[in-house]
Amino acid sequence: MKKNTNEFFTSEESVSRQKTEEIVNNTLFKCDDGELFLESTVSETIILDDGKIKNTSYDSIKGYGLRAVNNDVITYSHSNEITEDSLKKSAQIITEANKNFSGKITESPKKTNKHLYEDVNPIEEKKFSQKIEILNEIDKYLRKKDPRVTQVSSSIFSEYQKIEIIRPDNQSYTDNRPLVRFNVSVVVEKNGKKESGSFGTGGRKIIDEYVTDLNWKKVCDIALKQALINLESVESPSGEMKVVLGPGWPGILLHEAIGHGLEGDFNRKKTSAFSNLMGQKIASEQVTVVDDGTLDNRRGSISIDDEGTPTNKTILIENGILKNYINDRMNARLMNTQSTGNGRRESFQYMPMPRMTNTYMYSGKYNPEEIIKSVDKGIYAVSFGGGQVDITNGKFVFSCTEAYEILQGKIGRPLKGATLIGNGPDVLTKVKMVGNDMQLDAGIGTCGKNGQWVPVGVGQPTILIDGITVGGTKN
């Protein structure tokens, strides 16, 4: 990969590459692992609410994080000043904290020349006035399309992140990461009843890939459709019943209720519901789940992780059998395995840890229509909002933002107030039918863990869960 030498080592008040490598070598050579993580990120957010600019921001951050790892002890120092003086102060802190350790630095990651996205700054692609004009067109389009529309909010978020990782053997790794997210929310009203709908798209392409006339109108239409469907919704029933999850975004339940439980740090510490189950059957034999950071231009994809390891396509569950955990370098070393390229951090201010990229379930053999027809009474969940998960036991609660009743094998009335309650390990064993229509989400996912947020992707085909608790509002 090419070295981005001009970003961090050119200004007079900065520090030379040679001096930087010398400091890193002298600080980390007796540690088990570690690196200097350099970052420069610019981002822009534009939000239009009811035809008026609600918020605009342009942020720029630049800095480094110096990390030393010995056994499972991590020492970390970061600064937004990339100077020789600042680096020496960080090195002194780390050296003092690790003076009683005497390790041998682990081998650096293998390099790759594969790039999963173009090196473009999406912020500079369109003028600010052009972006405002698009958002204004969205407001006009939705109000003209349906007189029941009372509120429209739309936003464009663009980011361009440059990173460089320098290791104690002078190996360096760079990645330039574009990111775009486009969202539309709409509120409709009928006879005093108000409901909302929202939809978004995004990924690691230029803005035009997401906000051309054709694309933004499609996003608007989906958001409006959801709002109008919710306008006609009835109270959701409650109790134990069959649930069909739609393709694409409902994979967020898979991500939260199962994916987090397969992250290496939780399993090394044996705090996950999936600890000590490697090689055992934990799901229906129809279930195969992967974490794949190698998909071109996807929101959760990264050419290398934030430790320099190339991302991978990692099979987590294969035909119901637990095959792998998601790992960064430290947890992989302590578990006597290899990093899966999932060491991620929100920014230079944070240490890396095992995080998902794009997590999805493979397609099965059933047609979606066949799955719906197999259900006499149940719920068809198409989209989810917020949720809560307990990693230690896998218990979750998720609210549905779009759901329908299923009666005698047919999709019926839209439902409101439906929540799904269960636990990940139990749900996996109750998957009875897996559809042949796997879809990835539209590119809007953001995952939180230990106070850090990173972009992710999810996906799945239509699946039938044979019995899950539904919380409803119907008496």
pLDDT in the model for residue 270: 96
For 115, counting Cβ atoms within 10 Å of its Cβ (0-12 exposed, 13-18 middle, 19+ buried), the class is middle
Is residue 2's pLDDT more than 50? no
**pTM for this entry:** 0.94
> Domain check: are 206 and 243 in the same one?
no
> Domain check: are 105 and 254 in the same one?
no
Compute the chain's Rg from CA coordinates.
24
Is residue 377's pLDDT more than 70? yes
Q: How far is CA 80 from CA 62, 121, 308, 446, in A?
A: 6, 22, 21, 24
pLDDT in the model for residue 389: 83
CB atoms within 10 A of CB 294: 19
pLDDT in the model for residue 4: 42
24 three-class SS: helix
Q: How far is it, in rounded angstroms, from Cα 456 to Cα 448?
A: 10
> Domain check: are 105 and 222 in the same one?
yes
HEC states along 154-211?
EEEEEEEEEEEEECCCCCEEEEEEEEEEEEEEEEEEECCEEEEEEEEEEECCCCHHHH
Q: How confident is the model at residue 382 (pLDDT cuts 50, 70, 90)?
A: very high
Cβ contact 204:303 at 8 Å: no
pLDDT in the model for residue 5: 47
Report the percentage of the chain scoring pLDDT > 70: 98
Between residues 5 and 394, the one the model is more confident about: 394
Q: How far is it, in rounded angstroms, from Cα 444 to Cα 124?
A: 21
* Assigned token pair, 127: 């003028």
pLDDT in the model for residue 1: 37
Domain membership of residue 65 as a residue range: 5-231
Least confident of 204-208, 357-361, 379-383, 388-392: 388-392
**Segment 119-159, tens digit of pLDDT:** 999 999 899 999 999 999 999 999 999 999 999 999 999 99
pLDDT in the model for residue 60: 97
Tell which residue, 164, 187, 166, has the closest CA to residue 175.
Answer: 164
What distance lies between CA 170 and its chain's CA centroid? 31
Domain end call among 175, 202, 231 = 231
Q: What is the CATH number of the domain that holds 88?
A: 3.30.2290.10
Average pLDDT for residues 180-200, to the nearest whole number?
A: 96
Is residue 421's pLDDT more than 80? yes
Is residue 383's pLDDT more than 60? yes
> Domain check: are 206 and 252 in the same one?
no
Written as one letter, the residue type at 326 is I
Cβ contact 444:200 at 8 Å: yes
> Domain check: are 144 and 270 in the same one?
no
> Domain check: are 388 and 435 in the same one?
yes
Count of the separate structural domains present in the chain: 2
**Segment 27-44, tens digit of pLDDT:** 999 999 999 999 999 999
**Segment 325-373, tens digit of pLDDT:** 999 999 999 999 999 999 999 999 999 999 999 999 999 999 999 999 9
* Assigned token pair, 342: 């999932």
pLDDT in the model for residue 12: 60
> Domain check: are 183 and 276 in the same one?
no
Q: How far is it, in rounded angstroms, from Cα 397 to Cα 385?
A: 11
Cβ contact 267:260 at 8 Å: no
Report the percentage of the chain scoring pLDDT > 90: 88
> Domain check: are 145 and 270 in the same one?
no
Cβ contact 172:166 at 8 Å: yes
Is residue 82's pLDDT more than 50? yes
Cβ contact 412:405 at 8 Å: yes
**Segment 279-290, tens digit of pLDDT:** 999 999 999 999
pLDDT in the model for residue 3: 42
pLDDT in the model for residue 475: 57
DSSP 104-165: -PPPPPPP----SS----GGGTS-HHHHHHHHHHHHHHHHHH-TTEEEEEEEEEEEEEEEEE
Buried b (16+ CB within 10 A) or exposed e, 414-453: bbbbbbbebbbbbbbebbbbbbbbbbbbbbbbebebeebe
CB atoms within 10 A of CB 160: 20
Average pLDDT for residues 46-56, to the nearest whole number?
A: 95
> Domain check: are 260 and 135 in the same one?
no
What distance lies between CA 283 and its chain's CA centroid? 23
> Domain check: are 159 and 246 in the same one?
no
**Segment 401-410, tens digit of pLDDT:** 999 999 999 9
> Domain check: are 283 and 188 in the same one?
no
Residue 353 host element (H or E): strand 353-354
> Domain check: are 225 and 87 in the same one?
yes
Domain end call among 209, 231, 253 = 231
Q: Mean pLDDT score of the chain, rounded to an integer? A: 94
What is the tally of helices (H) and strands (E) in the chain? 11, 24
Domain end call among 231, 258, 287 = 231
Q: How far is it, in rounded angstroms, from Cα 446 to Cα 437?
A: 24
Tell which residue, 350, 291, 431, has the closest CA to residue 65.
Answer: 350
Q: How far is it, in rounded angstroms, from Cα 76 to Cα 78?
A: 7
CB atoms within 10 A of CB 349: 17
pLDDT in the model for residue 177: 98
Least confident of 3-17, 195-209, 246-260: 3-17
pLDDT in the model for residue 6: 61
pLDDT in the model for residue 10: 66
